[in-house]
Chain A
Amino acid sequence: MALLELIDLSKNYKEIEVLKNISLEINNGEFLTLLGPSGCGKTTILRLIGGFEEPSSGKILLDGQSIDQLPSHKRATNTVFQSYALFPHMSVFDNIAFGLKMSKTPQDEITRRVNEILETVQLSEHAHKKPSQLSGGQQQRVAIARAVVNKPLILLLDESLSALDYKLRKEMQIELKMLQRKLGITFLFVTHDQEEALSMSDRIVVMNKGVIEQIGTPKEIYEEPKTIFVAKFIGEVNTFECTLISQNDQEAIVQYEDKSFMLKTAKTISHDVNILIRPEDLRVERKFEDVRSPNYFQTTLEQISYKGTTIDLVLKLKNGNIILASEFYNEDSDALGYTIGETLYVYWVDGWEVILDAE
């Protein structure tokens, strides 16, 4: 059974619908991420679960019990706030002990559990400092420790890493994931950073404008996006707006401008269709003889950027549209030898494209 269930949850602020009929199940022990651009409603979901806002309609079930009428202090959830919201007048120890004191835990157990979690987050020697004496990363860890020490059924993390700089954020992503495995607590994480979502989550919920666009594992979300929005929000993607010419039960022929593509698919395709291809799924060749697919483009190289592990190419089609291709960098690759203005042939391996009916 799902640990947390959102059933038909909606939230309006005055006239504005922030969330529209959200239904979602979160499994016990799962690392689930709500991903979307700012204003998509992902933080609102977190605040509804945490009890800081009331839903306009719908239900929230935690462990089978309806919690939507409970005030936040009676819910078995804890939140790590985006700004950390550490109590400035209390030491690190007292900050972490706060929840245990509220639940009237015996003093010796408080001391034991707080010290234990301080060790886990490697802050033992800072126990008596005030939050303002700590660095951003340390404050972040106090905020996490303060929440998880209460052993919540579910931990809610609101953009918890976005205030940190890039390197620290990467480290904290790994630490957070390890902490989640160690504690076995269900994490509901909110972020607008798709890379963060992909690397940490068991499942991702992609949201846009108050609705769920897609729920799936990072791999599913990346490789089989269900909507153009998901495809474009998660990583780079080249989109080709095509029209269907003919289809049988094995393949379809579509037209893109003056070219036609043969797609190996059994799926029924509507008249207007989008073909999506990730930049790293495109193959680039100098000579036409090396092209291994009837689905190819002749392009002009506009720009090269060296990214360390990949080389990103900006290519211009004959119709003026721009496409992106990424080549994995290796010493033998001839990609670095390309010159701007050069003619290059681009194709993709059959079946690596994503076919989406136009919306």
Chain B
Amino acid sequence: MLNNSLSRFAIVSIGIIFVWIVLFAFLPQLLVFIASFLTKGSQQMIEFEGNLENYTRLADPIYLKIFWDSFVLALITALLCLVIAYPFAAILARTSVQWRPILLILIIIPFWTSSLVRTYALIAIIKTKGLLNALLLWLGIISAPLELMYTETAVFIGMVYTLLPFMILPLFASIEKIDPRLLEAAGDLGAGFWNKLVKITIPLTMPGIIAGFMLVFLPALGMFYIPDLLGGAKNLIIGSFIRNQFLTFRDWPFGSAASMLLTFLMLALVAVYYRSQKVVESKDSA
């Protein structure tokens, strides 16, 4: 009886999620997929005339460069996040249990505000007459205001700021799991700080590193409003490119094709991620 009602509950709850995903994630994706094989219309948005031209057009070096630039942007963002988040996560994992929730909440609080709003707030900080310059000038660290806005630096500041928590949390989870005795043992056997880090901590937190990397890299690849707002849309990246195809050029099929290419790229990366996780796991249990 209990089992029955439990399974009914399971069916209902999973059913709702299933319907939700089909309606709002799978169907739109399917429409985009279909649209990517259609033709741009002069009267309507789309003409139902199948072709592969949208994809062949993407092979143009101009567009490939957009993909490449986006890839590099996402990669550097993920690497910056990793370098910044690792020490933070390590400190967090070694913080006493009574302070840890406070630090964790500080990481999570920004999620309570729309990241678009936070990006505007960031502009208020880093613009020429913004808070950061005012502070640095007041402290006498710089004599002329930094021209950060509409530079690559600004884009990276924005990207890293927004995506950092996605790196910190999985890293924290994996660093926390390391038995402190292992580090003591390494020290006992003659390993100093760097050897402990390189030979023990990093290999043992590889699952967390890979997870965090994917959680930052994938969103960074499709992110368009941060580079647009902070970078002044000087370098076109995939996200903005797709948006432009839909909203500015009204070329839905071409935008769809670019979107699908991005989706396939991400799927490939997720597949690589799963394989690497499996390798790590089988190494553990082997």
Asked if A133 and B195 sit within 8 Å, CB to CB, the answer is no
Chain B positions 197 through 213: 1 when the CB is less than 8 Å from some CB of chain A, otherwise 0: 00110011000000000
Closest to B200 in A: A87
Q: Is the interface on chain B under 10, 10 to 19, 20 to 34, or 35 or more residues? A: 20 to 34
Measured CB to CB, the closest approach of chain B to A128, in angstroms, equals 11
- Nearest Cβ distance between residue A144 and chain B, in whole angstroms? 13
Interface residues contributed by chain A, number (CB under 8 Å): 27
Given A88-B204, A88-B284, A102-B195, CB of A83 within 8 Å of CB of B188: no
- Shortest CB-to-CB span from A43 to chain B, Å, is 12
B173-211 CB mask vs A (1 if < 8 Å, else 0) is: 000000101101111111110010001100110000000
Distance of A82 Cα from B132 Cα, bound (Å): 52
Complex interface: stretch among A72-80, A110-118, A176-184, A199-207 = A72-80
Q: Give the residues in chain A near B200, CB-CB below 8 Å.
A: 87
Using known A-B contacts A73-B187, A150-B190, determine if residue A132 contacts B285 with beta carbons closer than 8 Å.
yes
Instruction: Across the interface, name the chain A residue whose C-beta is closest to B181.
Output: A85
Task: Write out, one digit per residue, whether chain A residues 72-100 have a CB within 8 A of any chain B CB (1) or not (0).
Answer: 11100111010101111100000000110
Are B286's CB and A50's CB within 8 A? no
Q: Known contacts A83-B181, A132-B284, A132-B285; decide if A99 and B189 are in contact (CB<8 Å).
A: yes
B184 in contact with A85 (CB, 8 Å) = yes
Q: Which residues of B contact A73 (CB under 8 A)?
A: 187-192
In this complex, the member of B189, B191, B195, B284 whose beta carbon has the largest number of chain A beta carbons within 10 angstroms is B189
Q: Does A52 contact B (CB under 8 A)?
A: yes
Instruction: Flag whether A59 is at the interface (Cβ < 8 A).
Output: no
Contact at B189–A133, with CB atoms within 8 Å?
A: no
Counting chain A CB atoms within 10 Å of each CB, the highest count among B179, B185, B187 belongs to B185
Minimum Cβ distance to chain A for residue B192 (Å): 5
Alpha-carbon distance A146/B181, docked complex (angstroms): 15
5 example contacts (A-B, Cβ-Cβ < 8 A) are as follows: A51-B187, A52-B184, A79-B184, A79-B188, A99-B189
Residues of B within 8 A of A (CB): 179, 181-182, 184-192, 195, 199-200, 203-204, 283-286
